[in-house]
Amino acid sequence: MARIPVAVVGATGLAGQQFLAALENHPTFDLQVVAASSRSAGKRYRDAIKDERGSSQWFASQRVPEAYADLVVQDGSKLDPTSVGLVFSAVDGDTARILEAEYARTTPVVSTASAYRYEEDVPLLIPPVNAEHARLIETQQQRRGWKGFVAPIPNCTTTGLAVTLAPLVEQFGVDMVLMTSMQAVSGAGRSPGVIALDVVDNVIPYIPKEEEKVQVETRKILGGLAGAGITPHQMAVSCTCTRVAVLDAHTESVFVKLAKNASPAEVAQAMREWRGAEVARDLPSAPARWIEVSDDPFRPQPRLDREAGGGMVTTVGRVREEAALGGAKYVLVSHNTKMGAARGAILVAETLHAQGYIR
């Protein structure tokens, strides 16, 4: 079967690079177009990612895929979205708002940007958790008169939290979540990113807007489809988000108040056995299971566990009783630039393809 031609917009940035790395040899999607700002337009991709000093700013751990290195970068603002069947958007917030609406008039857009995440008719998809929210796309298309649509993924800090809460919501009910994150510097990208002077031998106790995102997104993702929108889950979500000297993967310390009694063993089992939405199970980017629970008290660790399942697995450990709240506490590690960004967006596209929203 012919693969679907796709474009990556914002292809030269850190998130865009992750798309290229993840799309190499993809069985369903055929990357044919790379686009970025007008500054990069007209250059070959391998040159567009060099800085003014001639130094390659490619940062994925594998090398630049040879198949894409010589693609000529297009100007994202002049892209003809009908030349492809799907656009992956990795542009920044402001530009995203304009460009993604433009593309969506004719073409599906799966995005890592936050621009449309909080719109009523826009699903916020983590396929194993809430694939059925994809139905909102129909509302979105009717309301906006679009042939395409915008499907954003959540903030990378939300992802691991929502994935691990999903089986708890299903089995025990969740009333309250209190979370402290220790986030990787790659989440801040490269310009300006987090400077070494700020984070070596240090912890930065604040990431602007991050806590609000996690709090709103978690409830939306775990909420229920109701008519033409989503009713957020009732749980209270409260966070403190910090930055630590870790390159990739966010670590989160989670305290959960459950609606129903559950022992740590039952909580661990619920996570281990959780298979999530059926449509998301056997997709190219899906790992064997979504959550791995470790019995080793010294796990999860971001450096040792972030690559589990190609960076698509959320690793959980230290599952203990939370007697004060009535529930459980645990630590999770989730790869912020894989499951939490480009590869997570590709998983969304695979799901939407399986559901018929992308053809």
| List of residues contacting a second copy (CB under 8 A) | 53-56, 59, 61, 176-178, 180, 182, 185-186, 190-206, 208, 236-238, 240, 242, 244-247, 251, 253, 255, 296-304, 307, 317-318, 322-325, 329, 331
Helix (H) or strand (E) holding 291: strand 291-293
Q: Which is nearer to a second copy, 2 or 324 (CB)?
A: 324
Question: Which residue, 62, 61, 108, is CA-closest to 85?
Answer: 108
Q: Which is nearer to a second copy, 136 or 254 (CB)?
A: 254
Helix (H) or strand (E) holding 162: helix 156-171
The residue annotated as part of the active site, out of 133, 156, 233, 335, is 156
Q: How far is the CB of 323 from a second copy (least distance, A)?
A: 7
Q: How far is the CB of 136 from a second copy (least distance, A)?
A: 27
Q: Which is nearer to a second copy, 72 or 176 (CB)?
A: 176
Q: How far is the CB of 248 from a second copy (least distance, A)?
A: 8
Q: How far is the CB of 154 from a second copy (least distance, A)?
A: 20
The residue annotated as part of the active site, out of 133, 233, 250, 335, is 250
Q: How far is the CB of 140 from a second copy (least distance, A)?
A: 31
From residue 84, give the alpha-carbon distance in Å to each of 325, 345, 358: 51, 17, 11
Crossing angle of helices 264-273 and 156-171, rounded to 10°: 110
- In this structure, the strands spanning 108-111 and 149-152 are parallel
The answer to whether 40 touches 73, Cβ cutoff 8 Å, is yes
174 vs 181: CA distance, rounded Å: 19
Known catalytic membership, residue 133:
no
Helix (H) or strand (E) holding 265: helix 264-273
Known catalytic membership, residue 26:
no
Q: How far is the CB of 176 from a second copy (least distance, A)?
A: 5
From residue 245, give the alpha-carbon distance in Å to each of 18, 249, 251, 263, 311: 21, 11, 12, 34, 19
Q: Which is nearer to a second copy, 29 or 58 (CB)?
A: 58
Q: Which is nearer to a second copy, 140 or 337 (CB)?
A: 337
* CA-CA-CA-CA torsion sign (296, 299, 305, 311): positive
At position 60, the amino acid (one-letter code) is A
Q: Which is nearer to a second copy, 67 or 236 (CB)?
A: 236
Contacts of 219 (CB under 8 A, 6+ apart): 232, 233, 234, 235, 237
Q: How far is the CB of 287 from a second copy (least distance, A)?
A: 13
Q: How far is CA 320 from the centre of its chain?
A: 27
Q: Which is nearer to a second copy, 226 or 298 (CB)?
A: 298
Contacts of 333 (CB under 8 A, 6+ apart): 160, 249, 250, 251, 252, 300, 301, 302, 305, 306, 314, 315
Q: What are phi and psi of 226, to 5 degrees?
A: -140, 105
Q: Which residues are catalytic?
A: 156, 250
